[in-house]
Amino acid sequence: MIDSTLDQPGAGSVPDEVLMKDISRRRHDALTELYGRHSKRLRATIDGVVHEEAEADDVLQEIFLQVWEEAGRYSPKAGKPLGWMVTIARRRAIDRLRRRQAYCRARDRYEKRVIQDSQTPRRDASRTLVLNDLHHFLKKSIRALPQLQREAVELAFFSGLSHREIAAATHAPLGTVKTRLELGLQKLTHALRPLRQKV
C-alpha cells in the first residue's frame, strides 16, 4: 500500500504538486486537502461568471471530479496546480453560462412563437389542418422523450412552474432540472425540424 505524504511529519506544508501526485495514486485525503485549500478561491472565480448558486455548486463539483480523473496527466511544467484549476474553473463556468444562455434564447423563441401563433388568425382550412397535425406531432414527440425530460418539459411549459419549483416538485437538483429541460428541448427541436417548411 502506498503511504500518503499527508501521513508523514510536516504534512501541513505539503505542496500542491505533491498532493496532485497523491491524487493520481487515488488518495482521497489528498483531494480533500486540495479542496480545503482552494475551493473558496475557485468558487469565487466561478461566481464571477455564473452568478447562480446551484450552477456554481455544480461547476465546483465538476472541477474536482476533473482533478481526480486527470491528476495523472498534470505536469508541473504547465504551471502551478492552482493556476491549472483556475483555468478549468473559468472554462467550465463559461461553458455553463453559454449553455444557460442558449437554453434561455431557445425558450424565449419558443414562447414567442407560441404567442404569435395564438394571435395570428387562421387564414384557411389547410393551415388549420397543418397546425393541428403539428400539435399532435408535438404531443407525440413529447411523449417519446425519456420520462424525466418529459416531466421537466411538461412542468415548465404546460404547468408554468419555474426551474426551482420543478426542482422542489421532483426532488432533483436545480442543475439537473435545467439539464433535463435543455436536453428535452433539443430533442423536440430536432424532431420538429422536418416540419418547419410545412408551417
Q: What's the whole-model pTM score?
A: 0.51
Q: What is the CATH number of domain 121-198?
A: 1.10.10.10
Across 96-105, 130-139, 169-178, the highest mean pLDDT is recorded for 169-178
Look at residue 165 in the predicted model and tell me its pLDDT: 87
Look at residue 9 in the predicted model and tell me its pLDDT: 42
Q: Would the pLDDT of 135 be above 80? A: no
Q: Which CATH number fits domain 5-97: 1.10.1740.10, 1.10.8.60, 3.90.180.10, 3.30.565.10?
A: 1.10.1740.10
Q: What is the 3-state secondary structure (H, E, C) of the chain?
A: CCCCHHHCCCHHHCCHHHHHHHHHCCCHHHHHHHHHHHHHHHHHHHHHHHCCHHHHHHHHHHHHHHHHHHHHHCCHHHCCHHHHHHHHHHHHHHHHHHHHHHHHHHHHHHHHHHHHHHHCCCCCHHHHHHHHHHHHHHHHHHHHCCHHHHHHHHHHHCCCCCHHHHHHHHCCCHHHHHHHHHHHHHHHHHHHHHHHHHC
Which of 104, 99, 92, 100 lies closest to 65 in space, CA to CA? Answer: 92
pLDDT tens across 75-133, in order?
888 789 999 999 999 999 999 888 888 888 887 788 777 777 666 655 556 667 667 77
Which part of the chain has CATH 1.10.1740.10?
5-97
pLDDT tens across 140-155, in order?
888 888 999 889 888 8
Which part of the chain has CATH 1.10.10.10?
121-198
